[in-house]
Amino acid sequence: MEENLSLPSQGLGNKNIANISWWRTKFGEEEIQKIKESFFNENISMGSVTEEFEKKIAESLDMPYTLVTTSGSVALLMACIVLGITKEDEVIVPNRTWIATANAPYLLGAKVILVDCEKDRPIIDVDKIEEKITKRTKAIIPVHLNGRNANIKKINEIAKKYGLFVIEDACQAIFSKDQEDFLGTQSDIGCFSLNVTKLISSGGGGILVTKSKKLYEKLKLIRNNGTGNVMIPEYKTLGCNFKFTDIQASMGLVQLSKKQERIFYIKEIYNKYKQAIQSLSSIKLIPVNIENQELPLYVEILCKERQKLIDFLKSKNIHPRISSPNLDCADYLENFNYFPNSNLFAEQGLFLPCGPAQPLENIDYVISVLKEFEQELKKQVNENEKK
Ligand SMILES: Cc1ncc(COP(=O)(O)O)c(C=O)c1O
């Protein structure tokens, strides 16, 4: 019998369907069988199953070189290490992203330079990048937030003009495209996440892709404490133990085989919400361009009355997730700028229940509650006007 595991952000199991969590994904019998197979073949730590997983990812993203590691955060860190980012450098990062994007260069001592996002999309505003470039700038890390193309072709042009590296943070964008081309595959290095709130998951994990054999060979060393072969150890470069495991790769292989049905399903969820939200005035969908082949991993909305909406949803057993704060909130990132566009997304943003195993009945229920909320708000406005 296949078991559904619903994993909200806290990582707790939630089998009570009356309680709708913001994210649901699924690991079932096939994953268990594959893990068992690995286990009995004594494929436990990083070995042949990991290699098979890397080969399959490389094929599906049409990239020559792919490496897996412990997390998307570590993938970003390894990318910064291999490109030689140090305390002498500045790295340009969008103000709206998950903090891991900035922590990677910051951990290496680099100065993180934040840039505001566009007005209507929580994506780095390319027109504001050039004014931030100095003699110390070494790299740009654009983020394809929720599958949205961060204008990667324009960013690559800017990087070429100033001789900068580009690391694509595609942690929320695996298999999302910019028309024909996969996001995360068009620059020096692309990084993806395999944590539980992603399209496919190995429990935890990260992916690096590159077209450079030289970078790939060096990344392999960095993943293994700078050594190529433990039987003949040579300390070639600085690294750490950033290795994956065959147990995780077993899960990843099964999840990867389900990518097509998952892509189809998350689009269906997005379109259902899109259609319903069009008729509401209290809530605005933050768009993802499906027509251009972008994949809406999450369903994000803006609501001026966000706290009221959260309370209303919770009273109906629906648990949305609040958008993460802007990076300029991190005390350790030096910054003297003001980010009006980012502020709007941070103050009003909310993730509605979604995910590859979120039942469509739950989406219908959430939509009906959103409609109820709209009526409730209208009633309150009318009552206030009468007073
Ligand atoms: C944009 C972004 N970057 C980096 C990461 C880090 O990935 P991980 O959680 O696998 O470390 C995430 C994770 O959600 C993310 O959303």
Distance 163 CA to ligand 1 centre (A): 27
pLDDT in tens, 222-251: 999 999 887 887 888 999 999 999 999 999
Question: Which of 193, 202, 242, 324 to mutate to test ligand 1, by most ligand atoms within 8 A of the CB atom?
Answer: 193
User: What's the CA gap between 72 and 203, in Å, rounded?
Assistant: 12
The answer to whether the beta carbons of residues 156 and 139 sit under 8 Å apart is no
CA dihedral angle for residue 13, residue 17, residue 19, residue 22, rounded to 10 degrees: 70
The answer to whether the beta carbons of residues 274 and 280 sit under 8 Å apart is no
User: What's the CA gap between 207 and 63, in Å, rounded?
Assistant: 12
Question: Mapping DSSP to helix (H, G, I), strand (E, B) and coil, where does residue 86 land?
Answer: coil
Question: What's the DSSP call for residue 83?
Answer: T
pLDDT in tens, 12-57: 344 444 799 999 999 999 999 999 999 999 999 999 999 999 999 9
Burial 223-236 (b: 16+ CB within 10 A, else e): bbbbeeeeeeeeee
Q: Name the band, by pLDDT with cuts 50, 70 and 90, for residue 218.
A: very high
CA-closest candidate to residue 53, choices 254, 335, 219: 254
pLDDT in tens, 49-86: 999 999 999 999 999 999 999 999 999 999 999 999 99
Q: Which atom of ligand 1 is nearest to the CA of 76?
A: 4
pLDDT for the residue numbered 13:
41
CB of 72 sitting under 6 A from ligand 1? yes
Q: Which atom of ligand 1 is nearest to the CA of 73?
A: 11
Domains and CATH numbers, the chain: 20-24+258-386 (3.90.1150.10), 29-256 (3.40.640.10)
Write down the residue that tokens 């990843």 correspond to.
252
DSSP annotation string for 292-328: GT---SSEEEE-TTHHHHHHHHHHTTEE-EEPPPPGG
Question: Which of 23, 73, 202 to mutate to test ligand 1, by most ligand atoms within 8 A of the CB atom?
Answer: 73
pLDDT for the residue numbered 232:
81
CB of 97 sitting under 6 A from ligand 1? yes
CA-closest candidate to residue 7, choices 250, 197, 171: 197
Distance 225 CA to ligand 1 centre (A): 23
Q: Name the band, by pLDDT with cuts 50, 70 and 90, for residue 274.
A: very high
